[in-house]
Amino acid sequence: MASVLVVEDDQFVRSALIRHLTEAAHTVRSVGTALEALREVAQVGFDVVILDLGLPDLDGAEALKMLRGVTDVPVIIATARDDEAEIVRLLNAGADDYLVKPFSVAHLSARMAAVLRRTTGEFGGSGDSGGDAVLRVGGLVVDPQRRMAQLDGVVLDLTRREFDLLAYLAGRPGVVVPRKELLAEVWQLSYGDDQTIDVHLSWLRRKLGETAARPRYLHTLRGVGVKLEPPQGEGGRI
């Protein structure tokens, strides 16, 4: 059971979401504007927010930005917009997942479950990410228990998803991890768009001070997968 905030101005859609989520044993609160949503998350602890983009007071993308300024609660975008550039922009802005309307309740429930698994720090069962052991790859230090990462002694400001991706790869230094495995173990999805992985790799590279053209830690093997390894001359995992 999860505590859910539904941010939706369409009364029909809003009522349907409330009914189905309640029937699924979730605790649900709902609002119809971005400002009401901000007040709610500031006063109530939620496990997940379902956010519509077409709100009457603010565009949902701007609302997402404001939510990220006050909380790290997982946000699933529920939108009729299916433009790829818009989806990438939302992921960059901090969305944890997105659904394009219309969608089934079963689909929403599956996405919610996946997001909640990720945000509790759990990975899938097929691999060992190193448990609570501190991971060291060259000058990169990843502490899964404290959810903290440092590069050359400087703490990295990572989003939840960036940390999960980095921790998973750091637990397998030098191993080429297939994209399908990343989707399954980090995103908890059996299928998905590679664009999702590319976006998060791009942002993670920036924070590691590298680029795809000049990688230092993150290496992409086109058509195969991604691996994390220390720069030449630096030590591996301790």
* pLDDT tens sequence across 143-202: 988 889 999 989 999 888 889 899 999 988 888 989 888 888 888 776 666 777 888 899
Structure tokens at 82: 């299916």
- Length of the chain in terms of residues written: 238
Do the domains 135-228 and 3-119 match in fold?
Answer: no
Domain boundaries, the chain: 3-119, 135-228
Q: What is the Cα 153 distance to its own chain's centre? A: 25
Which numeric CATH code is attached to 3-119?
3.40.50.2300
Lookup: tokens for 121: 């720090």
Element (H, E) at 225: strand 225-228
Structure tokens at 93: 């802005």
Looking at the domain covering 135-228, what would its CATH class be?
mainly alpha
Identify which of 26-30, 95-99, 189-193, 195-199 has the greatest average pLDDT: 26-30
Does the pTM exceed 0.75? no
Sequence-distant (≥ 6) Cβ neighbours of residue 127 within 8 angstroms? 168, 171, 172, 181, 185
CA angle 177, 182, 185 (to 5 degrees): 115
Angle in degrees, CA 22, 74, 95, rounded to 5: 120
